Amino acid sequence: MSSKKVLDESLTRDIECIMISAAQLQARTQELGREISRDYRRLLGSALEENTPIAIGLLRGAITFMADLTRALSIPIEYDFMQPSSYGQSHEAGPLRLLHDLTQPVVGRHLLVIEDIVDTGQTLSYLKEKLLQRGAASVKLCALLDKPARRQQAVTLDYTGFCIEQDAFLVGYGLDYAERYRNLPYVAALKPQAYQGE
């Protein structure tokens, strides 16, 4: 008997094509886990246990990626979350707001900010500056997907899962359109008619 997940037609009818398969996502996440673990061992050495890095997931899109990525780490890690938002129920960006902030101080701590997708770069640029102003010892940025063609604010990613050149609207593996499609096991392009004409 196959254990393959059967997706409801209401989840898949507006999918144009699969961009990154579940297998590709898992393989790349494992690679990133090894790379990040190695880098923090080099950075912190014997201080790793006393100054455990904090993985900061950006709600809600990064939850799926963060869960898989942190399980791929071989170092101690703490969790916290922030929820920046520049979107309403549509896909159009607006002013950045912070809906949920960290629950612990970050002075002297090493932070790994985990994001689902970087488009304009404004969110990660803003958050990195804010966290450094709060006294973080270091802030590393990790994004599952990078769309550099849409960049408006310069931001340097320390870790990137996949670079996307196409200007497609992506959903799945945590990414949504109007809070739908987050639970797809892959990253897919949404048909334009599914989000145009709002």
Q: What is the 3-state secondary structure (H, E, C) of 60-94?
A: CCCHHHHHHHHHCCCCCCEEEEEEEEEECCCCCEE
Q: Return the DSSP state at 167.
A: -
Residues 6+ apart with CB under 8 A from 31: none
Whether the CB-CB separation of 131 and 104 falls below 8 Å is answered with no
Q: How many helices (H) and strands (E) does the chain have?
A: 4, 9
* Residue 170 neighbours by CB distance under 10 Å: 23
Nearest to 20 by CA among 187, 172, 189: 187
Active-site residue flag, 119: yes
Per the omega criterion (within 30 degrees of 0), is the bond before 60 cis?
Answer: yes
Q: Which of 86, 73, 5 minimizes the C-alpha distance to 40?
A: 73
For residue 54, which of 123, 111, 101 has the smallest C-alpha distance? 111
Q: Which of 116, 119, 146, 176 is flagged as catalytic?
A: 119
Catalytic site positions: 119
